[in-house]
Amino acid sequence: MKRTYIFIGILFLALCLNAQPWEMDNSVFNPSGVPSFSFSQPRFMDLDSDGDFDFWLGNTNRPPLYLQNNGTATNPVFAPGPDLLSGIPYLASEIAVSADMNGDGILDLVTGGFSGLHLFLNSGTNANPVFTESGGYFSGLNVGLNPVPDVADVDNDGDLDLVVGLSEDGSVIIYFNTGSAAAGNFSENNCQLLGDIGLYAYPVFCDFDSDGKQDILCGRDAFGFVYYQNIGTATNPVWEENNTLFAGLGMSTYWNSPDLVDLNGDGLYDLVYGTAAGPLQYYVHNGTAENPSWQQNTSLFGGVLDVGGASNPVFYDFDGDGDLDLISGNQLGYVKFYRNTGTAYAPAWQEDNSYFANIHHSIYSAVTVGDVDADGLPDVILGDLNGGLYFYHNTGTGLIEQSGVLPAVSVGGWSCPRLIDMDFDGDLDLVVGNEAGNLFYYQNNGTPYSPLWELVNGFFGAIDVGSDCVPTFADVDEDDDLDMVTGNLFGEVQCFLRQRQLWVENTTLFSGIETDQNAAPALVDLDHDGDFDLVLGDYDGTFKFFRNLKYSGSVLNPPQNPIFIIDGEVTVTWEEPLIGSTSPFEHYKIYLDGVFCGSTTENIWVFSGLDTGVAYLVSITAQYVAGESLPVTLEFIITGNDDQIVQPITLTNYPNPFNPSTTISFTIPAGSKGTLEIFNVKGQKVRVWNYLPSGEHKIVFNGCNEQGLPLPSGVYFGIMKTQNRVQIRKMALVK
């Protein structure tokens, strides 16, 4: 599983696809809204000329991303803006800085990348830039591969000079502009070697001490920073290393690429730097130029989940608290654990790798979790670059590697295991993807307590996804079997529906969803609304979330028209919710005076042993996958007289039970009109007599519905309603 350059763009905007309503929402794994890219390089500028700082986010996977400040100069809020550099090859632009390189008052673009230094002139405006390369502009410079540039007027002659950090030897070189502000000229004959700080130097200009002279701060292929303070004059710079001002910063991250910018409007330069892993680090400057005091801010760019490369997510309630936690392998071969500290409906994440700290084999780990021995504790199976599998038994206090549990598996280079009950027999089977793009199915022919995995040849037919196959399983088409979604090296997502014994590719359900490299999908109902969402890991080490909009918690209709009858016991029934709820129905929940009594899928509940002379409040809700509806309520008082309610009228039937008919007798008070309705125990109205006048009535109910069709045996409720009175009578049709 090697690092491969692939020219595929990243999808940032919300999707609403024709076949399946997907919406991209990366705030689930990145509340800051700022993406995390491997080898991130932030460079700040006010591109849209609105008085606050925006920035370019350079990286090794795509052209720099434009992050627009939608807040203010003192309270920035960054979010991806238009993809302004999508037409620039990313091999030419791992990093970008903005500067007016031709003196027209509009910001141009200087980039560095695999193919060297480049200048892209802006023929548009700052707000709507149009970048076109000025070919050969830096052709006289020997800066090698992946140079890192910045520009500033270091000699106060009115034109922009250039500093370049070299990748292979770590040199920091100043190139003095011998041309003009409108037509720069840079050559090896007019340069100064500032120093050698090791491999991969990342220099930026800044007048950190506010003395009118350009200082230089450098990151590198190591921890920490190197600071060159300008102790010369504005026209004759002399740089001297002074590492006290940034001492202790960047010591826990590698390949630190810094920029200095005042993000809170206090006149002091704050420090923002990218890292090899990707997440941006932000330190607010609270001291003075001579004696800076740094305070880390983890909210502006913080919160992003990044495993450090090659994320490969699975979800499992590992801590048993009722919500799904996130477990992932990573590029270095470790297992990352993110505890869900939110809820089953709204997850939040807290990293805690301590329980998995002893797991490590080769690099590029892939993990799956399941209780393979039915002891109530989730166990772990790990795959890695070598293509083997490793079993870790959960003892309740730790994970211990055990041999002899897994079959002798060797699937070739790189193994990606997934535990799933594929044959619905109550035990966990094992599916393994490999580097060649193939899939292997090991059926558990043992028991839930003692697995015996045996290879089933040909189970996945001729499926070959190309390379680095990562499978995930769920009933995508809701036909009561398990379908499969796979990712591959090229960032593609493919769907295979299970149709009897065949796997049939579906090219529409996930059309348009991809990532840049090494797509690692996981199907999971992460917002608990009844449909499977898609989480996508990738080579960068981050996670993308695609919300499935088929179901949601926006409309959860409650039950309707609750009624009751007191006949020794209190029987409550109700009608089904209105159609139009946006999540699948599960059951009804019953409460008496606010105390939960139980749940049922029927439309009836019976209360026994209630006291007479006491007022009771019954609440009934509909429980959906996405949550609980508002309650529908009714009140009653047990008077000690069967079939009597607060405002009784006489309602009887004879015979009861009956077959095939019974006579229902009642009296409607003078000056009133009434309605007689018959309901079954599901709350469905089966017969009705409307607009009955005042006086005595005897209606024969013949056991048929409104269409004249015979009703089945069972309990029915006759409900007599007038303007201000209701009476209920329970009847039994027995055939």
Do both 132 and 271 map to the same domain? Answer: yes
Paired strand residues for 67? 55, 80
CB neighbour burial string for 319-356, b if at least 16 within 10 angstroms, e if fewer: eeeebbbbbbbbbebbbbbbbbeeebeebebeeeeebb
> Residue 569 belongs to what domain range?
560-638
Q: Which residues contact 273 (CB under 8 A, 6 or more apart)?
A: 42, 219, 225, 250, 253, 256, 257, 258, 259, 280, 281
24 found inside a domain: no
Do both 514 and 606 map to the same domain? Answer: no
445 found inside a domain: yes
Question: Which of these ranges, 253-257, 407-411, 493-497, has the smallest mean pLDDT?
Answer: 407-411
CB neighbour burial string for 427-457, b if at least 16 within 10 angstroms, e if fewer: bbbbbbbbbbbbbbbbbbeeebeebebeeee
Report residue 422 as tokens.
Answer: 């594929």
Q: What angle do CA 322, 425, 377 make, to 5 degrees?
A: 35
Do both 544 and 578 map to the same domain? Answer: no
- DSSP sequence for 525-555: -TT-SSS-EEEEE-TTS-EEEEEE-SS-SS-
* pLDDT for 4 beyond 80: no
Please report which confidence band the pLDDT of residue 718 belongs to, taking 50, 70 and 90 as the band edges: confident
**CATH code at position 358:** 2.130.10.130
Q: What is the pLDDT of residue 254?
A: 84
pLDDT in tens, 9-67: 323 333 333 345 898 887 788 878 788 887 899 999 999 999 999 999 999 878 999 99
Q: What is the pLDDT of residue 450?
A: 94
Shortest CA distance to 258 belongs to which of 247, 238, 274, 239? 274
CA–CA distance, 533 with 549 (Å, rounded to integer): 9
Question: Which of these ranges, 106-115, 190-199, 493-502, 673-682, has the smallest mean pLDDT?
Answer: 673-682
Do both 205 and 113 map to the same domain? Answer: yes
Do both 442 and 341 map to the same domain? Answer: yes
Q: What is the pLDDT of residue 11?
A: 32
pLDDT in tens, 311-329: 999 999 999 999 999 999 9
**CATH code at position 623:** 2.60.40.10
Residue carrying structure tokens 């700040």: 44
Do both 167 and 106 map to the same domain? Answer: yes
* pLDDT for 279 beyond 50: yes
Do both 209 and 236 map to the same domain? Answer: yes
Domain end: 499, 517, 548, which one?
A: 548
* pLDDT for 463 beyond 90: yes
Question: Which of these ranges, 21-35, 124-138, 280-294, 459-473, has the smallest mean pLDDT?
Answer: 21-35
Q: What is the pLDDT of residue 412?
A: 85
535 found inside a domain: yes
Work out the percent of the chain whose per-residue pLDDT is above 70. 95
Q: What is the pLDDT of residue 639?
A: 66
Do both 164 and 207 map to the same domain? Answer: yes
* pLDDT for 644 beyond 50: no
Mean pLDDT of 698-712: 94
Category of 217 on φ-ψ map: left (φ > 0), alpha (ψ -120 to 50) or beta: beta
Q: What is the pLDDT of residue 16?
A: 36
Please report which confidence band the pLDDT of residue 648 belongs to, taking 50, 70 and 90 as the band edges: very low
Do both 668 and 722 map to the same domain? Answer: yes
The total domain count for the chain is 4
Do both 479 and 611 map to the same domain? Answer: no
Do both 255 and 204 map to the same domain? Answer: yes
**CATH code at position 140:** 2.115.10.20
Average pLDDT, the chain: 90
Q: What angle do CA 30, 35, 40 make, to 5 degrees?
A: 135
Shortest CA distance to 346 belongs to which of 21, 627, 628? 627
pLDDT in tens, 294-313: 999 988 987 789 998 999 99
Handedness of CA 664, 669, 674, 678 (dihedral sign): negative
**Strand ranges (DSSP E) for 299-421?**
312-316, 325-329, 335-340, 349-351, 366-370, 379-383, 389-394, 399-402, 415-420
Q: What are the Cα distances from residue 482, in Å, to 65, 433, 476, 502?
A: 38, 17, 7, 12
